[in-house]
Chains A and B, each alone.
Chain A
């Protein structure tokens, strides 16, 4: 029986740790990029399944990019041309509130503005920006996930923030 630990990722424990390491990040990546309409959860499973089925062809150092490319392609195969509209959690309505109706309305309008502005970002900008702002990842981590330079990440995120603020102000 040949040890395949180094050559490919057919080893179960190796694959399991690969899964644990990337499944959530991949899900977030797909979600921020394509929204929830195209079932990012299913695509994560499909992509990992493809990796597993082709495990003997995939070396551990190539596995991540194979996974992301596969997931991305799965998404693009059925991408709709609609703008991605990310959902936001409604601010819980309190039964007793000191806030004036005007404040609540302004608050809701503000959220809708952010939503619209986010969908106006490019996919690349939105993914990097949300990973940074919402998932709390630093530029370097994002650079690793997306396989781009830290400088490029900074450019995307800063560009996204700038565009977002302009949009919100203009809306």
Chain B
């Protein structure tokens, strides 16, 4: 294929889109014209696919921490967000490591502390301890009444709102109902701190709201463990409160002097029998309506 200089120039100008109207006519007159146009047409089908730059620039810009412009605010926001996330998860984590064991009314719960010490929680009571920090802070917060059988060689504190019991030995009962704070040591020794005074209890010792009674308890464990509640010269109102807790029931009294002292016990698994042990000594008549027991002190009138 021989192409004259003139023809080559025309084709080059055509390629560069640089033909004058006159040259355009000359080019169209070329014998190669149709072939060139056809080839050029068909070449369009080889066009590169569309390049989509969507998001690419943003991706690239996001890869580097710049100290200027918009990225500052983005970084600042992400830092703040990170602090919140960390703070929140820390809060969640810490608050979550407090273990609380609850015993509902009419229930007793057996549980174990992280050191394998045994705890029996009486009705309507709860203990809270921190599993995570157990090694550094052996502390159990008690709300209500519980019996502790401490594993040998272990020491920890039982904290109640009325005082703290430091375990030096092994088996003891802690009762904190309302303002009553009662500790009985059954084995080993415990240190009771309440209202600024500390008392060390030996087995059989009984501590009740500031009063120490040495060697008064002959049992080896509290009665409630064996499904009984025992009372020594307790106001009758306290006895009824305990009754309510053990049977998950409400008690109303009419013409009953609840300040009378009661010594004795009631059992936890037979409400008829238990009620009799409470009402007979005081000549009280008991009537049950749904979930409420009404005690009427007719005969004491």
Interface residues of A (CB under 8 A from B): 1, 10-13, 15-16, 19-20, 23-24, 27-28, 31-32, 36, 41, 44-45, 48-49, 52-53, 55, 86-89, 91, 110-111, 114-115, 118, 130, 132-136, 138-139, 154, 157-158, 161-162, 164-166, 168-169
Contact = CB atoms under 8 A, between A and B. Distances in A.
Interface residues of B, number: 37
Contacts of A11: 68-69
A158 B70 contact: no
Interface of B: 1, 3, 8, 11-12, 15-18, 35-36, 39-40, 42-49, 51-53, 56-57, 59-61, 63-64, 66-71
B234 to A, nearest CB: 78
Contacts of A49: 60, 63
B43 A10 contact: no
Contacts, number: 112
A44 B68 CA distance: 25
A119 to B, nearest CB: 11
A88 B56 contact: no
A161 B8 CA distance: 11
Contacts of B70: 12
Contacts of A115: 46
B45 A89 contact: yes
A41 B49 CA distance: 10
A139 B46 contact: no
Contacts of B40: 133
Contacts of A158: 8, 11-12, 15
Given A44-B51, A158-B8, A88 B57 contact: no
Contacts of A32: 48
Given A19-B57, A24-B53, A41-B51, A12 B46 contact: no
Contacts of B18: 138
Tell which of A19, A41, A114, A133 has the most Cβ of chain B within 10 Å. Answer: A133
A20 B61 CA distance: 13
Chain A contact residues, majority secondary structure: helix
B46 A52 contact: no
B290 to A, nearest CB: 75
- A-B pairs, top 3 by smallest CB distance, nearest first, are A27-B51, A31-B48, A88-B45
A168 B61 contact: no
8 contacts: A16-B61, A24-B53, A28-B48, A115-B46, A130-B43, A158-B11, A161-B36, A168-B39
A87 B49 CA distance: 9
B39 A154 contact: no
Contact of B46 (A55, A91, A134, A157): A134
Contact of B61 (A52, A130, A139, A166): A52
A139 B16 contact: yes
Contact of A91 (B45, B57, B71): B45
Nearest to A110: B42
B42 A111 contact: yes
Contacts of A16: 57, 61
A91 B42 CA distance: 10
A114 to B, nearest CB: 6
A52 B17 contact: no
Given A12-B66, A12-B68, A114-B39, A27 B1 contact: no
A56 to B, nearest CB: 10
A123 B18 CA distance: 25
